[in-house]
Amino acid sequence: MNEVRPKFRLGQVVRHRVYPFRGVVFDVDPEFNNTEEWWRAIPAEVRPRKDQPFYHLLAENETTTYVAYVSEQNLLADESGDPVAHPQVPELFGDLHDGYYQVLPRHVN
């Protein structure tokens, strides 16, 4: 059995490879862990593989904030240095340094 090592870590700021949004990682599933209905709702030509890490993000775009669930293949490190404006960021994270938020101790497993 191969151990899957996530490319991104908790507190890291990332952006979507295709769609115009970015966010901060607050949880990681080693492989797909959502509903089949959710997965099939994604158009087949852009539907991600299930055998990869999936990331829970506190996400933002130009108009709103939300929680997103995104495959590793669709994420890139965000190198803007800009903070994420999601209102839940201060609940889970401390300061932002070099593209990473400090994970508050009460949220580390």
What's the pLDDT tens digit per position in 30-83? 999 999 999 999 888 889 999 999 999 999 999 999 999 999 999 999 999 999
Query: Residue 39 and residue 34: Cα distance in Å, rounded?
Result: 7
Percent of the chain surpassing pLDDT 90 = 84
3-class DSSP state of 55: strand
pLDDT at 24: 98
Count CA atoms within 13 Å of residue 35 on its CB side: 3
- What end-to-end distance do the CA atoms of the chain give, in Å? 23
Structure tokens at 28: 């990681």
pTM over 0.95: no
* Residues of the chain above pLDDT 70, percent: 94
Give the C-alpha separation, 102 to 87, whole Å.
16
